[in-house]
Structure 1
Amino acid sequence: MALSAKLVMRQGQSMVMTPQLLQAIKLLQLPNIELAAYIENELERNPLLERAEDFNPSEPGNEPSALFEGPTPPEGEADWASQELETDVAGLAQNLGTELGNAFESDRAPAPAEFCAPPEGHGLSATSWSGVASGGSDGLTPDLEAYAAAQISLGDHLARQAAIVLADPADMMIARALIDALDEAGYLTGSLGDLADRLGAPLARLETVLARLQQLEPTGVFARNLAECLSLQLIERNRFDPAMQALVANLPLLAKRDHAALRRLCGVDDEDLADMIAEIRRLEPKPGRPFGAPPEQLATADVFVALAPDNSWRIELNNEALPRVLVNESYAANVKRGRTSEADRLFLTTNLQNANWLTKSLEQRARTILKVASEIVRRQDGFFLEGVVGLRPLNLKTVADAIGMHESTVSRVTSNKYIHTPRGLFEMKYFFSTSIASNGVGEAHSAESVRFKIKQMIDAEDPSDVLSDDVIVARLKVADIVIARRTVAKYRDSLRIPSSVDRRREKMAPPVAAGSFRNSLTL
């Protein structure tokens, strides 16, 4: 049988992910901060895109837009900007009917006693004091506000101190490597042995340099664990006696409030143990915290939900968080009319298409967010009226089917998007929770509302009658909520609530020592 090549036409359907479609999907899931950064990059790259607030209709090539036109003065009234303003002092006083000092208190000439002579060797300029005599000033003043606002990093702070205590360049190189190995809390990460192999230095020398660095400020840096961090601070305070050493060596017992075991290990009575615990609680478990990480960006609401006069819910987009860009088509037309090469025409055409698609994608993004938010509010109206206990089970597919979109689209819309409600600011994902079956024929319960009820039970429990997980299961069953014991334990752990044994030990402990151990000690 001979093989031959031939052309065959077939009709079929396939989905092609064009660059424009990929861009629209990407914009849909971006939070406000990242979207603003993306728009900034597009504004720099595409000459046909402009910010709405920067658009000037009076510039050549820009057609005036009704969006930017100001209100027209009433008939018979001239525009104030075209009037000739009175600048003569006597004329102003006559028009006002009083002296300028009475009308404008800040412009009143000060009395001689109100003048203050500048310090010796300093000149007084029209805006500020200068640090040199008036005759030698070059007109430039230091930006003291920027200098004071500059935040020094933990690494720079330690490097300056290390340069003072270490004279050998090799030791300084080791110190720099150890500083780079610190985390944000000031703890030394990684192994000294691995670092020694990487630097080609003896392990003993690294340990010697580390011991010197552990004496730097803030006290506790370069510790390899919490116990070492607390020990360094106690040594500096001259409080690291044998009893305190035993307490630091048994921090897990302290976290569980097992005071009986701690008294036995430390060889102290209740009063001494309470003093030691109070001393531990005054220490800083994360010495690098004051320098900290870069400040976190505050969440910005994408949608506002408010109660309307007719007791319905009014849902609005946050216009302040929506980027507004315009396509300057007039500029593109003017350039095309000139003498341009084929490459220039292709460049303009491509950028015009991209600009138009971007504006359409932003508009589609806003409409989709509003549609999804409206459906969430409609289905979770109980939350806005009753709080967390009013949350209902909800999943992405339910919302997607209701608004006629794909489940993946709803997932992208609700990621890193926030709703501002009368009860606070919540992420859209918060309103989606799994279903907990009821005991009878009633509606299912939201997992978040069940978690809230468990917290309410534990907060209201009697110190002499601490609720176990089995008791909580039984009480929830009475409230028409069917839940397993392991689920109660999982929800309790997610709320960072200790077990019934630990809670009973904490509540029965002496008042001074019963204060909850600082959560930040758990690294």
Structure 2
Amino acid sequence: MQIQRPAMMQEQKLKLSPQMLQGIQILAMPLQDLQARIQEELEVNPALEVVEERKTVSIDEFSGKSGDYEAFENTSDPGNIGDYTTSYGGYDDEASEAKRKFMEGAIARPESLQDHLIWQLRLQPLPDEFFQIGELLIRNLDGNGFHREDPLELVPEEMHPALRQVMSIIQGFEPQGTCTANYQDSLLVQARLSEEVVPSSVIPILEHHLELLEKGRLKEIARQLKVPEHQIERSLEFIQTLTPFPGREYSATSPQYVIPDLMITQKDGEFVIILNDEEIPVLGVNAFFDEVLQSQGDQKEVKQFVTSKIRDARWFIQTLQQRNKTLLKVAKAIVEFQRDFFLRGPKYIVPLTLRDIAGEIGVHEATVSRLTNGKYVHTDFGLFELKYFFSNAVAGTNAKGIQYSKEGVKAILKEILDSEQGGTLSDQKLADLLKKRGVSIARRTVAKYRKELDISSSYDRP
């Protein structure tokens, strides 16, 4: 028989305080998220205030301004951090306000694909049951107009005949071809609904020979269908008038804009690292709270509340300063390791690990990982995510045993493909040319890198 007895155990656990958790979260935030986080903190902490509201400015303007602000106590303005100086400039407040009002007035929510289809569904003389099924089908469509989930799983089995009827009705709505499984299904629906004269070979081509059509093998299609080649050419002309992704016309997805956190450029033979904090307001502690603390010092509850809010405000400001300092340290270390990239371009990027940067600036690898994720840097060679500069090594084959990074190899590969003869080179030919340049990788690796560069195979390239 087992007997349970109380026992004392000693163990160690790592617990994060709310302040530490806040610091980790802010460290990982790109500028867009950080702006929202600052606004949240301003709303919940009355002791925190905006000392200076900076105006939004393009990175080109930002890099051309000068005039330093000194860092002062109890504010988030980093001023001079280490060996780097942030830059600011003056702006026309009246013009900026007019532009803001114009932009706010111009913002309008575009009609989504679902809105457009449901509006047409309401015009149909359908019973309530059919309308409910139609709404389920429409809400199940993605931005292309295709089913997200199998539509047969949306309703019980006994309702499947009604579902198929409603699906057929929606497929005829504008734009035609939505409420389908994929682009092939959509093209078939559009061809069958077309009011134009449809060549007899169109449907067989879409059903069985679409892959051959994509590769331009018209003669082979004509041979298999036993029709003249000119008929296949007419079919191709008709198919090209159809829309493979009909829902995209009504896509309500907004473009995602990237705000660079840093700018690294050359000036007078030296690298200049600029922290883009123009997007972030300068924060400070509200002086009124200090006055309240002095005048109401004998009231315990008031004193506790005011002291707590001041402490939280100062901690938040300190966390922002620490984020900026660490970001500059990481940028400086990346420049030291990737000097050839910043001098000569992406082709010369070298292998680099998180451990290399972490060891250089004296932080944990996880800190570098959080800091570089989702943050971008504007360079003389374009806009890059900080993660771009970390790449595994690909062994070289020359006498010096030079190692190339994956991104460096991809840059060399793109250079070859962009040349006059590059469009006709197969993956094996590309692998052979890379080997002559001192990069030994397999044909399948070339194919993988080519796909990551969004470049078609030699068969599909013009």
TM-score range relative to shorter protein? 0.7 to 0.9
* Structure 2: gaps of 5 or more residues: 55-73, 78-101
Q: 1:203 aligns with which of 160, 170, 174?
A: 160
Tell which structure's C-alpha radius of gyration is larger: 1
1:13-412 mapped onto 2 (5 Å cutoff):
16-53=15-52, 149-197=108-156, 202-234=159-191, 235-249=193-207, 250-309=209-268, 311-334=269-292, 337-338=295-296, 342-412=300-370
Q: Which residue in 1 is equivalent to 2:94?
A: none
Contact 1:175–1:213, Cα closer than 8 Å, also in 2 = yes
Q: 1:444 aligns with which of 392, 396, 403?
A: 403
Q: Are residues 462 and 390 of structure 1, via their aligned partners in 2, closer, same or farther at CA, if it must alter by over 3 Å?
A: closer
**For structure 1, which segment, 354-363 or 440-449, has the greater mean C-alpha deviation from structure 2 after superposition?**
440-449
- CA distance in structure 1 between the partners assigned to 2:350 and 2:294 by the alignment: 58
Task: Give the drift of 1:253.
Answer: 2.3
**Amino acid paired to 1:223:** T
Task: Give the drift of 1:52.
Answer: 2.2
Contact 2:130–2:166, Cα closer than 8 Å, also in 1 = yes
Q: 2:387 aligns with which of 425, 429, 443?
A: 429
Q: Secondary structure at the match of 1:416?
A: coil
Q: Which residue in 1 is equivalent to 2:415?
A: 456
- CA distance in structure 2 between the partners assigned to 1:155 and 1:286 by the alignment: 15
Q: Secondary structure at the match of 1:325?
A: strand
- CA distance in structure 2 between the partners assigned to 1:5 and 1:282 by the alignment: 80
Task: Give the drift of 1:335.
Answer: 5.2
Task: Give the drift of 1:377.
Answer: 1.9
Superposition TM-score, scaled by structure 1 size: 0.71
Q: Secondary structure at the match of 1:363?
A: helix
- Give a deviation string over 1:334-372, Cα, whole Å, max 9, x none: 156238854443322222211111100000000111111
**Amino acid paired to 2:392:** T
Task: Give the drift of 1:489.
Answer: 2.6
- CA distance in structure 2 between the partners assigned to 1:397 and 1:22 by the alignment: 23
Q: Are residues 164 and 326 of structure 1, via their aligned partners in 2, closer, same or farther at CA, if it must alter by over 3 Å?
A: same
Q: Are residues 469 and 66 of structure 1, via their aligned partners in 2, closer, same or farther at CA, if it must alter by over 3 Å?
A: closer
- CA distance in structure 2 between the partners assigned to 1:159 and 1:215 by the alignment: 13
**Amino acid paired to 1:251:** L
- Give a deviation string over 1:378-417, Cα, whole Å, max 9, x none: 2222223322211111111111111222111111111111
- CA distance in structure 2 between the partners assigned to 1:210 and 1:220 by the alignment: 11
Task: Give the drift of 1:497.
Answer: 3.5
- CA distance in structure 1 between the partners assigned to 2:130 and 2:140 by the alignment: 15
Task: Give the drift of 1:299.
Answer: 0.2
- Give a deviation string over 1:173-216, Cα, whole Å, max 9, x none: 1111111111111112322321121xx76211111111111111
Task: Give the drift of 1:170.
Answer: 1.8
Q: Are residues 15 and 190 of structure 1, via their aligned partners in 2, closer, same or farther at CA, if it must alter by over 3 Å?
A: closer
Contact 1:231–1:240, Cα closer than 8 Å, also in 2 = no
Contact 1:220–1:232, Cα closer than 8 Å, also in 2 = yes
Task: Give the drift of 1:420.
Answer: 0.6
Q: Secondary structure at the match of 2:377?
A: strand
**For structure 1, which segment, 274-283 or 426-435, has the greater mean C-alpha deviation from structure 2 after superposition?**
274-283
- CA distance in structure 2 between the partners assigned to 1:66 and 1:438 by the alignment: 50
Q: Secondary structure at the match of 2:172?
A: coil
**Amino acid paired to 2:177:** G
**Amino acid paired to 1:173:** Q
**Amino acid paired to 2:159:** P
**Amino acid paired to 2:251:** G
- CA distance in structure 1 between the partners assigned to 2:298 and 2:53 by the alignment: 27
Q: Secondary structure at the match of 1:52?
A: strand
Contact 2:144–2:248, Cα closer than 8 Å, also in 1 = yes
Q: Are residues 7 and 282 of structure 1, via their aligned partners in 2, closer, same or farther at CA, if it must alter by over 3 Å?
A: closer
- Give a deviation string over 1:27-61, Cα, whole Å, max 9, x none: 00111111111111111111111122369xxxxxx
**Amino acid paired to 1:217:** E
- CA distance in structure 2 between the partners assigned to 1:400 and 1:437 by the alignment: 24
Q: Are residues 266 and 238 of structure 1, via their aligned partners in 2, closer, same or farther at CA, if it must alter by over 3 Å?
A: farther
Q: Are residues 265 and 323 of structure 1, via their aligned partners in 2, closer, same or farther at CA, if it must alter by over 3 Å?
A: farther
Q: Are residues 54 and 386 of structure 1, via their aligned partners in 2, closer, same or farther at CA, if it must alter by over 3 Å?
A: closer
**Amino acid paired to 2:442:** A
- CA distance in structure 1 between the partners assigned to 2:312 and 2:201 by the alignment: 71
Q: Which residue in 1 is equivalent to 2:428?
A: 470
**Amino acid paired to 1:282:** T
Q: Secondary structure at the match of 2:141?
A: coil
**For structure 1, which segment, 216-225 or 376-385, has the greater mean C-alpha deviation from structure 2 after superposition?**
376-385
Q: Secondary structure at the match of 1:42?
A: helix
Contact 2:175–2:246, Cα closer than 8 Å, also in 1 = yes
Task: Give the drift of 1:7.
Answer: 11
Q: Are residues 162 and 67 of structure 1, via their aligned partners in 2, closer, same or farther at CA, if it must alter by over 3 Å?
A: closer
- CA distance in structure 2 between the partners assigned to 1:259 and 1:478 by the alignment: 37
Contact 1:166–1:172, Cα closer than 8 Å, also in 2 = no
Contact 1:158–1:216, Cα closer than 8 Å, also in 2 = yes
- CA distance in structure 1 between the partners assigned to 2:455 and 2:349 by the alignment: 22
- Give a deviation string over 1:214-243, Cα, whole Å, max 9, x none: 111112221222122112333324354431
Task: Give the drift of 1:5.
Answer: 11
Superposition TM-score, scaled by structure 2 size: 0.80
Q: Which has the higher contact order (CA 8 A, sep 6+)?
A: 2
Equivalent residue pairs, number: 412
